[in-house]
Amino acid sequence: MADMTDTPKQDAPGNAAKDPDNWTTGAEPMTGAQASYLKTLSEEAGEEFDAEMSKADASKRIDALQEKTGRGA
């Protein structure tokens, strides 16, 4: 049985902690989840939605629109 204090994933860095410009897959098209959320945020902010963004650009745009709409953490 595994020790409950053994949590190696707890210290693993996630993509959220990395600068999107440094993502190895950042130039790929944005994911479906990113597109859906970005479209919602764009509508709430009264801004245009660009369906052709890369993963990295979509991540940065989501951050900016979250701040603008008050949805950011």
Confidence at residue 18, expressed as pLDDT on a 0 to 100 scale = 80
Token digits of residue 66: 């979250």
Residues 6+ apart with CB under 8 A from 6: none
Confidence at residue 33, expressed as pLDDT on a 0 to 100 scale = 95
Residues 6+ apart with CB under 8 A from 28: 54, 55
Confidence at residue 1, expressed as pLDDT on a 0 to 100 scale = 52
How do residues 27-45 score in pLDDT, each as one tens digit?
Answer: 889 999 999 999 999 999 9
Confidence at residue 19, expressed as pLDDT on a 0 to 100 scale = 83
Whether residue 39 contacts residue 11, with contact meaning beta carbons closer than 8 Å, is answered with no
Which ranges of the chain have pLDDT less than 70? 1-16, 73
Query: 0.85 exceeded by the pTM?
Result: no
